[in-house]
Amino acid sequence: MALDSGYVQVILAVCLLPLVVAGYWWRNVQISYRWIRILIWHEEGECEYLEWKGFVGATETQQRARPIHTCNTTPDSIGCSHSQHIPGEKCWRGTIDRFFNGSIQRRKIKKPSKLPVNQSFLCIDTQFIKAFVLLAVNHVNTPLEIEASRHKESGEILAHISLFPNQLHHFFQRNLTILEIDRLLRGYPPFYREVLSCNGMRVPSPIRTDRDVSRGGWVIGAGLSFTNPIPVYVDTFHKGSTVRGEVFWTALTRVKAVLENNIRLIYLDDASISQRINAVINGLTHIINEKTDSGLDHACEDSGLMSYTARILTQEECIRAMRIFNESYRLDNDGLANLKRRLQPMILEVLKAALMGAKACIAYVKDPGRELDSIIPAILVNSERVFLQGCQGDRIGTY
């Protein structure tokens, strides 16, 4: 005779009741234990929060005046006492926490209830990790390791950062300002600085607004300046495209357009200059189409610019040269006449700067691996905040 379904349900309920009660009881024990512990040790219910928005929220004048890291050593010295990874439950104090010591935007927040009450954390916006990588990483030899995963119970992202060796000998760019690093994280080219060094002169960046990022002035600046690019960059202009480094190709295309549509037209009556202009255009076409500098010398061999010894431009001339490539690439007749007056005293220097800037760009972007997204764990790319934890062996996110 088959058992009545209602009778079966009653039997199952009786069997499962102890398990349900036990689970409910155990959860209450855990909650009570946490409450009592926080009541005794109040600080265990909190963690420090480092907020990027507050960090960069000062005025632009303050952002320009304040480096992102205040160090007790000179930028060229070896051994920054703020860049040590000392294994322990708060090892993050010797890496990110102390490195961003210029920040006053620190406050206490309530620790998420599902995180271990007896474990210390530093809550930070993910932008700090990205900034730290931009400053600390050499694209050839990465001296740090980032582990990150989602905590099962709380859903929060836990991360751990290690430096190898224990003391990072020096940060590649410790003198970047808060304004510069914030803009670099928003996708400005790795050659960007608020002030460039051109033949020992301080020259303001040709990038004055976000629109200038896709224009050609900064490529000319790369050809005129001795300012080194940061080792890795944020490739934010690749959305909808399979091409890496869209910021480079957009700007190089703009340089080529200015040469083709403006500068070439005003030198049609000068065979020698016209030949050089066409050779530089050929070189840019080769770089843009082939995505390499291999064969570039052959593509622009008629220019003679590779061996040309350019004169040192004045500060005003450097500014003017970069500005020309930020302007419209389709000038009217009056604009073309004015362009020739501005360009005539330095046409060869400008052509060489365009060629050398393009070479610097392709040398930087031709090989993969410089993109920030390829260095940090994928889970951090679009996350907003992270809880840094101390050295926990291989148990990241498994509590």
pLDDT in single tens digits along all 399 residues of the chain: 455 555 545 555 555 455 555 555 545 555 555 545 555 555 667 888 888 876 666 666 666 656 666 666 554 444 455 556 777 788 887 777 777 766 556 788 888 888 887 788 899 999 989 988 887 776 556 667 889 999 988 899 999 988 765 445 445 456 788 889 899 999 999 999 999 999 889 999 999 999 999 999 999 999 999 888 998 899 875 555 567 899 999 999 999 999 999 999 999 999 999 999 999 999 999 999 999 988 888 888 777 887 888 899 999 999 999 999 999 999 999 999 999 999 999 999 999 999 999 999 999 999 888 888 888 899 998 899 999 998 864 444 443
For residue 57, give Cα distances in angstroms to 42, 54, 71, 210, 392.
30, 5, 22, 18, 34
Report helix, strand or coil for 236: coil
Displacement of CA 169 from its chain's centroid (Å): 21
Per this entry, what is the length of the chain? 399
Q: Kindly report the pTM of this predicted structure.
A: 0.81
End-to-end CA distance of the chain: 49
The closest of 102, 221, 231 to 173, measured between CA atoms, is: 231
For residue 111, the 8-state DSSP code is: P
| DSSP strand pairing (195-198 vs 46-50) | unpaired
The closest of 198, 220, 194 to 207, measured between CA atoms, is: 194
The closest of 82, 72, 85, 255 to 164, measured between CA atoms, is: 85
